[in-house]
Structure 1
Amino acid sequence: MTSSFRGASADAVATLTDELGGAVSGSPETATTVAGELFSVSQTLRTEGPLRRFVTDASLPTEAKTGLVGQVLGGKVSDATLSVVRSAVSRRWTSAGDLPHALEHVGVVSAVKGAGDQAGRLSDELFGFAQTVKDTPELRDALSDPARTLEDKARLVHSLLDGRALPATVTLVVQSLAGTHRTVSVALAEYQKVAADARNQGVATVRVARDLTDAERDRLADALSRQYGRPVHLNLLVDPTVLGGLRVEIGDDVIDGTVSSRLDDARRRLAG
């Protein structure tokens, strides 16, 4: 998210995000392609220290940096991706490590644009896959096994999601394997936040004892949207440990209206 960047890097990310909109406007396919290419460039910059230091060196002429990018990437990525990367290396960065992180961030935004009007489905699929990983030890172990190659793990993801999820979802889940975040689940949670920010939304995780009807979901989403001043996307978790009511986590806020919470409050008052 842009809030993780500071100073010049935050300004650069905001500019790149705006420029991305023009580069992929009206073409979901281009946006998804650009996302994957930006992830690849980001990984290259993480692993190739000399290249990263050269293109983030503020003392070097912009022409030298953009020229090198053209030599390295020309013919290997789309014109839209090359335009974004050239713009990125022409900007100032608070630290050299911010550049690959920024390109990953902009790649996530591009993947969201690739989902088009199905961005809500994208968020649901990211959350759903993260829950599947959490609830399936065999899958979690397979995706975190250092002995398995990234390509092998990506093939596993494709076998699970191709034809069942949006291409943008598959792109983001594969990127979550890259190791830039502590775990796959942490990466997917971060990507969902970026997706929500790109659509000016908040994200609420709602734990309930039973599934909500569509009408109940709509009422809850409307209430939270009014309270927080912007649309809120709901991640719904049916949790058998919840005794009636619901528990809402949105950002750093927790709204606990469960029976168990009220019982705990009553016990504390009696004990006091």
Structure 2
Amino acid sequence: MDLRGASADSLRELTTEAEQALRAGQHAERVAGELYDVAELLRAEPALRRFATDASLPAEAKQGLAQQVLDGKVDGVTLALVTSAVARRWTISRDLADALERLSELTWVRSSDANVVADELFSFGQTVTAHPDLRDALANPARSRADKSALLDGLLDGKASTATVALAKQALGGTYRTLTAALATYRQVAAQASGQAVATVRVVTPLSDADRARLGEALSKQYGKNVHLNEVVDPGVLGGMRVEIGDDVIDGTVSSRLDDARRKLVG
């Protein structure tokens, strides 16, 4: 989900509106779920989506349609955000639905502790990666979405926050390429909500608390913001560590140095 130009500006302004509205004490969980439902409605109804994003139509007409469709069916904050969204400019039609889904993700994260949600999403992502049968079951097009949601309830009930469970279920919607890609994006959203960056650290044995603290401090200084560490124990690194943060990779593993040595010998 990469919004550009007018769409990026519209999402930024809508995000500010959502923060201000929800700070006034509205029910964030309800709003988060409804924003996602509206995004799905727009994707399922191309004519409605085209009308809502038609720059040649007056904003009042598009807002009137949104109110007609949603009034009495959603929270007042949801209605206000959607009404504001359809009055804005969008680079391409599908960006409206994508922006509302991103607002949903941000609202779910802010309804809970962003750091807790980030950790739970990471843990669930690791579980999916480690169990191919589970990954295949959640990706199987022959299984209904309700069936997959029930599977997630069984896996996560009592083990994760409401926000994490909701996001895991939204990941089934197919907006992102794969379930694991969706979970990775949600972790970035959680980091954004808490003003942090996310670093995945691959090590052969778990870091001590002191080592984690030193690494976090060093990365925070380097990137100019707090860095949330996700630790992966990977025997393949042999020793040292590999740090992935955004598009940057800091590879100080023994396996990497051995590969470098092999290439030099071959060369």
Taking structure 1 as the reference length, the TM-score comes to 0.94
Task: Quote the residue 2:93 is aligned against.
Answer: 96
* Mapping of residues 64-79 of structure 1, within 5 Å: 64-79=61-76
Distance 1:58 1:140 in 2: 41
- For structure 1, list consecutive stretches of 5 or more residues without a partner in the other structure: none
Task: Return the offset for 1:267.
Answer: 3.5
Counterpart of 2:152 in 1: which secondary structure?
A: helix
Distance 1:226 1:122 in 2: 24
Task: Return the offset for 1:266.
Answer: 3.2
Question: Is the Cα–Cα contact under 8 Å of residues 32 and 113 in structure 1 kept in the other structure?
Answer: no
Over 3 Å off, 4+ runs: 266-272
Instruction: Note if 1:254 corresponds to 2:249.
Output: yes
| Farther off after superposition, 212-221 or 29-38 | 29-38
Task: Return the offset for 1:77.
Answer: 1.2
| Farther off after superposition, 168-177 or 213-222 | 213-222
Percent sequence identity over aligned pairs: 58
CA deviation map 1:27-68 (0-9, x unaligned): 4x8222211111111011011001001111111121111111
Task: Quote the residue 1:24 is aligned against.
Answer: 22
Task: Quote the residue 1:212 is aligned against.
Answer: 207
Task: Quote the residue 2:129 is aligned against.
Answer: 134
- For structure 2, list consecutive stretches of 5 or more residues without a partner in the other structure: none
* Mapping of residues 183-198 of structure 1, within 5 Å: 183-198=178-193
Distance 1:34 1:75 in 2: 14
Counterpart of 1:241 in 2: which secondary structure?
A: helix
Task: Quote the residue 1:165 is aligned against.
Answer: 160
Instruction: Note if 1:62 corresponds to 2:59.
Output: yes
CA deviation map 1:90-115 (0-9, x unaligned): 10101111000000111111111101
* Mapping of residues 1-12 of structure 1, within 5 Å: 4-12=2-10
Distance 1:270 1:147, change over 3 A: closer
Task: Quote the residue 1:47 is aligned against.
Answer: 44
Amino acid at match of 1:52: R
How many corresponding residue pairs? 267
Amino acid at match of 1:31: A
RMSD: 1.5
